[in-house]
Structure 1
Amino acid sequence: MFQKVLIAEDVDFMSSGIKMALESLQIPVIEYAQYCDEAFLKLKKAFLDNEPFDLLISDLSFVENPNPQRLTSGEDLIKEAKKLQATLQTIVFSVEDKPYRVQQLCNELVVNGYVWKSVNGQRELKNAIKKVFDGEFFISHQLAHTLRSKETFEITDYDVFLLKHLAEGKDQKEISIELKESNIKPNSISSVEKRLKTLKENFNANNPTQLIAITKDFGLI
């Protein structure tokens, strides 16, 4: 089992039940940080002292700190942590359940587990730790569909740009102009038309209005 685990979570850690759940796994060292900057400093000090953490469990959103913070989200923290310590295992523990965001976080951050905060969250977190320790990827079963079928269609920043401007009521010609002004390619009207057609097919949308509604539900815009 993991020997040293860091929890980045802004709730009252001592009374949240998370600490008890981890202690039941007989993890010798469990440390806690309420803010991302604090968590990163703990990771960095341990790494420089040649006593690195084995696992980072992080929420995604944190309450605002009255003091300026360099890292303001769990996403920022995980990115920086992996730059510091490439071998660090990471688990997201969050209420975020929008398919696009879950897919993006799993794929771009290359996390080892994604646990959805729910009534079963603490039990699933224990299972996730066990699975990750055994070299397996874990995702809460309620979110597993986000990594399959249509949700695995690669959504790019380009797509999000098109969808946001489409949602603002712009037509393909106007979106083409916006792309050119932003120096984004491809930016021809035909390229915009082709990509929007692909998006409609992927999301089974019959028209632009339906496409906007569906992608909003998926958390894209």
Structure 2
Amino acid sequence: MFLEIQMSDLYKKKIIIVEDSEFSRLLIDVKLKNAGFTNTHLPLSSVEAWEQIAQAQLSDHPFDLVISDLNMPDLDGMDLLSKIKDDPMSEKLKVIIVSADADKPIQNIALSLGASAYVTKPFVPEELIKVVKAVLQGEEIPPIKGMFPAS
């Protein structure tokens, strides 16, 4: 019963998907919803996402997780990650970076800035769901490279 309650709470976590590609944004959202996550938010830009994150962190219903692309106009994923981690109100917010950039140095920078996980596109949606669950449960995740775990 405890596990059922814990899993039920997991699926109610507030997740914001920050992705400039509408296709990718909707794909991630659909896969999360199919997995049972019901509280997802899809801002149209990274700037709008930061505004929503900053506002939510001041409310009784802050975000629990950010899933963000890296390469976006206006405010890229690294800058968004830095803003989140530099702000005392959001510094503990968990962030998963999902990017086509497979460079190890870029992954290391994102992780050193405080990303909880790094997933390289294209990814198997079920693998992303596993990463989301693990991050929300506080587990450490190795970088996921494309269709296979990074070596």
Post-superposition shift, 1:49?
2.0
Post-superposition shift, 1:134?
2.2
Residue 218 of structure 1 aligns with which residue? none
SS in 2 for 1:7: strand
Residue 126 of structure 1 aligns with which residue? 129
Q: Identify the structure with bigger relative contact order (alpha carbons < 8 Å, sequence gap 6+).
A: 2
Post-superposition Cα deviations, 1:143-175, rounded to whole Å, max 9, x if no partner, equal 633xxxxxxxxxxxxxxxxxxxxxxxxxxxxxx
Could you list the runs of 5+ residues in structure 2 that have no partner in the other structure? 1-9
Q: Is the 8 A contact 1:97 1:143 kept in 2?
A: no
Q: Distance in 1 between matches of 2:23 and 2:62?
A: 21
Q: Pick the structure with greater CA Rg.
A: 1
Q: Which moved more, 1:91-100 or 1:75-84?
A: 75-84
Post-superposition shift, 1:137?
2.1
Q: Is the 8 A contact 1:7 1:30 kept in 2?
A: yes
Could you list the runs of 5+ residues in structure 1 that have no partner in the other structure? 146-221
**Could you say which structure has the higher strand fraction?**
2
Distance 1:15 1:96, change over 3 A: closer
**Aligned residues with identical type, % of pairs:** 27
Q: Distance in 2 between matches of 1:105 and 1:52?
A: 22
How much is the aligned-residue C-alpha RMSD, in angstroms? Answer: 2.0
Query: How is 1:76-95 mapped onto 2 (pairs within 5 angstroms)?
Result: 76-82=79-85, 83=87, 84-95=89-100
Residue 137 of structure 1 aligns with which residue? 140
Aligned pairs, how many? Answer: 136
**Could you say which structure has the higher helix fraction?**
1
Q: Provide the TM-score with structure 2 as the length reference.
A: 0.80
Q: Is the 8 A contact 1:4 1:55 kept in 2?
A: yes
Q: Provide the TM-score with structure 1 as the length reference.
A: 0.56
